[in-house]
Amino acid sequence: MIDSGYSDISLSTLDNEVVVKSLVEQYQQRIFALVLYLNGDNFDQAYDITVSSFVKAFSSGCFLKNKSFFLIRLIRAAIKRSRDAKIIPFLDDANFADLPPEKRNSLFMVKKALQTLTFKEKIFLLLRDQFHLCYKDISAILKMPESDVRVQTVCARIHLREKVEEVLNSE
């Protein structure tokens, strides 16, 4: 579940600059990874989207009131900007060069299956399985009922499993 407050910092004693720095340090890698997973291996594009998502979330001023509202706005902005961006295909070898051949082949199969998923399916899987957000928070981010989020997440997992099986059977 998203933390609803600032347990590690006190807004009454710190200025906005410190709060901004703390939030960026806390979420920058996760948002960058989310955008990178959604849009492929274009690091420059992922960086631009990540930065613009932070700007959008900070411009709302909600970071002064509640960290959970900030994170919801941040993820929404990242998803919207990722959806609008041109998707770049994943690179083939660069990310897995140091791995043993068996593990590399397994990761290629999963990566190939992930590429076939729709943007929406990727969002459900990433928010739940990478960000470890609860269904209630995903519901708030995507502005949809929690029951629909649960169903869509399960469907995305099933679809991913089917795609992995297809990749396995094609090799």
As given in the structure block, the two tokens for residue 151 are 């169903």
> For residues 3-15, b (16+ Cβ closer than 10 Å) or e, as one string?
eeebeeeeeeeee
pLDDT (0 to 100) of residue 85:
79
What is the pTM assigned to this prediction? 0.71
Q: What pLDDT does residue 129 have? A: 87
Report the alpha-carbon distance of residue 5 to residue 149 in Å, rounded. Answer: 24
pLDDT of residue 137: 92
pLDDT at position 4 is 45
Taking only the tens of pLDDT, the chain with its 171 residues reads 455 444 444 444 456 778 788 888 989 999 998 998 888 777 888 899 999 999 988 887 766 677 888 888 999 999 999 888 766 555 555 556 677 878 777 777 777 888 888 999 999 998 998 888 999 999 999 999 999 999 999 999 999 999 988 888 886
Residue type, 166: E
Q: Quote the CA–CA distance of 68 and 99 in Å, as a whole number.
A: 37
101-144 per-position pLDDT tens digit:
787 777 777 778 888 889 999 999 989 988 889 999 999 999 99
Residue 153 near residue 135, CB atoms below 8 Å: yes
**What pLDDT does 141 receive?**
93
Cα 46–49–50 angle (5° rounding)? Answer: 85
What DSSP string describes 47-62?
Answer: HHHHHHHHHHHHHT-G
Q: Do the beta carbons of residue 40 and residue 90 sit within 8 Å?
A: yes
Q: Enter the tokens of residue 60.
A: 């709302």
Structure confidence at residue 44 (pLDDT): 86
